[in-house]
A and B are shown apart, each in its own frame.
Chain A
Amino acid sequence: MSAIANAPAHDHHDDHVHHHKETFITKYIFSQDHKMIAKQYLITGLIMGVIGIAMSILFRIQLAWPEQSFWVFEVLLGDKWAPDGVMTPSMYLALVTIHGTIMVFFVLTAGLSGTFSNLLIPLQIGARDMASGFLNMVSYWLFFLSSVIMLSSLFVESGPAMAGWTIYPPLSALPQAISGSGTGMTLWLVSMAIFIASSLLGSLNYIVTVINLRTEGMSMTRLPLTIWAFFVTAIIGVVSFPVLLSAALLLIMDRSFGTSFFLSDIFIQGEVLSHQGGSPVLFEHLFWFLGHPEVYIVLLPALGITSEVIATNSRKPIFGYRAMVASILAIAFLSTIVWGHHMFVSGMNPFLGSVFTFTTLLIAIPSAVKAFNYITTLWKGNLQMNPGMLFSIGLVSTFITGGLTGIILGDSTLDINVHDTYFVVAHFHLVMGISALYGLFAGVYHWFPKMFGRMMNKNLGYVHFWVTAVGAYGVFFPMHFIGIAGLPRRYYTNTEFPYFDDYADVNVIITVAAIITALVQLVFLYNFFSSIFFGKKAVQNPWKSNTMEWTTPVEHIHGNWPGKIPSVYRWAYDYSKTGDDGDYVIKGQDFVPQTVPLQEGEEELNH
């Protein structure tokens, strides 16, 4: 099937590449080439990431030294939101809200999945480009537009959205309840609606490409795990993002057209609203129907990248390829039926809580299998400690630490007393925030040579990793303890409760760790941008990897391969494979690229 599908793409390429003269605009701005779009996603994502992380530093400063004056607030937030340099409670909530939104959607969904799905899907399956280059371009530009709208909401007079990234109504629906629910919230909703459109176009494209454009010999069971992860991620996205769109549309109707989907019996500012019969719990269901799969939309690509990077740098096949694929599928399926664990104390029927506890704890099983398989892949390897590898190992570490506390939160009983405390914040930042960021970094270090034809500086990479690794635990490990002690999240200051006074020191430690961790990301940014221009020129296959992207020339060409697309004869993980004579299959080389036919006397393992 894949061979047939390939033929037209091939012809198309031949017509195209020789006659078409690219201008600056078609090459760098409205490019339809997947490699360029990937870079656009990455750089936009990084810019959003810088903004999102900077916001977290601002509110961490407020938490460590509550209601004190800082010039940085005065400069960045201005007189209105930080009179005399003291952050206002509204601005605190706004920062928390926009930090969450930006990091979850704009950095970890678009920046991670958008970048690497675009870069790797065609290159690793052996396709000239995405199924539809045009839709791919539209997808990026919609993402760009939604980023701009989201950022523009920061400059609205009544402030950006302030109702938390989960935007639960009625708070998000009523400007009387909080000022950010005025124009700021409108812009938030518009931005997210466009974002969802972008994500859907992207996801559909990824799915079609993986199904139809695989090169000859690239059966589904020979796909690298990266592609499996991107493919399944795209499917979850297509299933769940439309539900968020419907929630957003209904919320827009409640806000602007007086409907009552989510609102009922509200008396605010001396006035009874006419809304009757809606339920905020309905919104919670709709939101988390996306919101929970979203966690895996963020995480699965990171795990896919990790699988590839760990196998390559261990010089070993990934352990249990089939189990890894099955885990991805199981996680994807289960992820769509666990959303209720965010709502154990929302007032929904306790019986539902029982069901969601059951499904939630089930998801620990495929996750555990993945973690064990990564550890076994390291066992008896020949580990090449490239920065990408370090971040992958770091990912497995934070994935375990963060995942384990999920067992507490997923248990409806235990959730009662830690719901919405800092315990939750610590849990999800480790398991999806930090882990996914590590996946992003691992991917950037590993595929930088493919993207820019140059190498990143490894020593700066090492400094970046080690300080980040220590700092990230320094931020989130102590946070579990103040959470389990009953400290609620989203509090502007804890000083109103003398009972919490002796946690103040912990908050200072966390903030200091956060600032250091954030600052060391500047090393990464410097390394990234300077390497684009001045990095050492890359060789074709710097990591001695098996996957197909390393068979393309270093210089980018439209259509990826000059001449015919190579065929595939084996899976992607024949590292250190030996023949009967105890020597490597290809003498003097511990890897066998997928494009190399089976050697004489070699058996293909049935994975």
Chain B
Amino acid sequence: MTVFLVIIVLALLAVTGWQISKIFQLSQRPDADTSQVANDKDNRLNGILMLGFVIFLYVITIYCFWEYGRFYLPEAAAEHGSEYDNLMFISIGLIMVVQIITQFLLHFFAYKYKGKKTQRALFYADNDKLEFIWTIIPVIVLAGLIIYGLFTWSDIMNINEDEDPMVIELYAYQFDWRARYSGEDNTLGKANVRFIEGVNQLGVDESDSYGKDDKIVTELHLPVGKPVLFKFRSQDVLHSAYFPFHRAQMNVVPGMITQFGFTPTITTEEMRQSEYMVDKVKSVNEERNERNKELVAQGEPTLDSYEFDYFLLCNKICGQAHYNMQMKIIVESEEDFNAWLEEQPTFGSTMEDSSENVDRPEDTAGDDTPESMQEDGSEEGQEMENAPQEGEEVAVVD
């Protein structure tokens, strides 16, 4: 399909180029001037093309909104998201109005006033009133947008501590994510990369009692309708935690803790059943089936059928596998969430288990071993003395 499309586009453009060059050839008479300065004929042709161009712009705009408008993300799955989408739609509406009008004026004037030998331009150098009008209109419109935007911004960014949000740490490293739930005390234990050793891959401070009940997992589960406050920590380079469906994003910066809070409002199950997502999954799967036919023909393994899940992705260039640094997010009812959380081992118990099996730390580490360590080529990498070194002050971030 795509190959076909490409060939058609290429062929059409080739024809266009050929036709244009023909027009130019035909428009040259033997006695034509060769000054290479535009004459009336050039002005007319290009003037008409200018009109054609603005029509092209409108067509491509309509086509894109029609065909690709459906790509806009589904209904926001977080509480602040509807405000975000409102502001987005107002802004898009506004800029489209301005775009359509100004592009029309620009290209229409270019067509209308295309030069002729007999035509005279109007000496028109200044008009304070006009200039005032088109200074003041943007001022007013932008003031409205700025004020609306700033209220929304402070709503989103100022975390309301009274609501007692559930604190979850998102920990980023090349090229994966971990989540650390703060446990019953809703307080994360202190942590620093200098504590990383063996199964303690996130560098949680073992001596901090707040850390004992923390739970470290590879899949992010969130209870619907409950405010969550994410604390972000990076092990190595800059990452960015991007939750497109929740209209949330925050960079993950080594050496500091950043935060972002939101309240999920739509469970994974509800989202899967929404009209938008049913259509979307269908179209994705059609695409994949198409691809599978090719793969089968080449004797290669086929792609799995797709089912929607929320995801978190890395959105700040972080290394060669940046394009595949993702984490599945499951939003579920509070009961389901609590039941799931119950099953997860606490940090304290993991550490105890590992000290019992001190010879075989891999058992508990399992396949959670971060790639960066595997790349190092030595499983012993995990056991290297990267605990706080003697005499060295360790800055503990909490």
Contact = CB atoms under 8 A, between A and B. Distances in A.
Interface in B123-146: 123-127, 130-131, 134-135, 138-139, 142, 145-146
Contacts of B107: 393, 397
B182 to A, nearest CB: 20
A267 B193 contact: yes
A488 B313 contact: yes
B35 interface: yes
Contacts of A484: 71-73
A590 B114 CA distance: 16
A379 interface: yes
B247 interface: yes
Interface residues of B, number: 141
B121 A314 contact: yes
B315 interface: yes
B17 A463 contact: yes
Given A267-B196, A478-B64, A499-B284, A361 B121 contact: no
B37 A543 contact: yes
B110 A393 contact: yes
Contacts of A413: 84, 87, 149-150, 152-153, 156
B297 interface: no
B386 A270 contact: yes
A250 interface: no
Interface string B64-79: 1000110111000000
A375 B102 contact: yes
B88 to A, nearest CB: 6
B190 interface: no
A452 interface: no
- Interface range on chain A: under 10, 10 to 19, 20 to 34, or 35 or more? 35 or more
B317 A265 contact: no
B120 interface: yes
Contacts of A566: none
Interface in B30-63: 34-38, 42-43, 45-47, 49-50, 53, 56-57, 60-61
B110 A477 contact: no
A407 to B, nearest CB: 6
A267 B373 CA distance: 10
B73 A386 contact: no
Contacts of A93: 317, 320, 322
A490 B322 contact: yes
Interface stretch (B92-100, B218-226, B343-351, B355-363): B92-100
A382 to B, nearest CB: 4
B240 A401 contact: no
Contacts of A492: 320, 322-323
Contact of A347 (B119, B154, B242, B253): B253
Given A270-B373, A347-B250, A280 B255 contact: yes
B263 interface: no
Interface of A: 88-90, 93, 162-164, 168-171, 174, 177-178, 263-272, 276-281, 314-323, 345-347, 350, 353-354, 357-358, 361-362, 364-365, 368-369, 371-376, 378-386, 389-390, 393, 396-397, 400-401, 404-405, 407-408, 411-414, 416-417, 419-421, 455-459, 462-463, 466-467, 469-470, 473-474, 477-478, 480-482, 484-486, 488, 490-494, 496-499, 501-506, 508-509, 512, 516, 535-536, 539, 542-543, 573, 575-578, 590, 605, 607
Given A270-B382, A607-B126, 8 more contacts: A267-B236, A270-B378, A364-B142, A375-B102, A390-B46, A491-B323, A543-B37, A576-B120
16 contacts: A89-B320, A174-B236, A269-B373, A318-B125, A320-B127, A357-B146, A369-B131, A378-B113, A383-B113, A396-B106, A414-B84, A419-B249, A462-B42, A482-B71, A488-B314, A490-B317
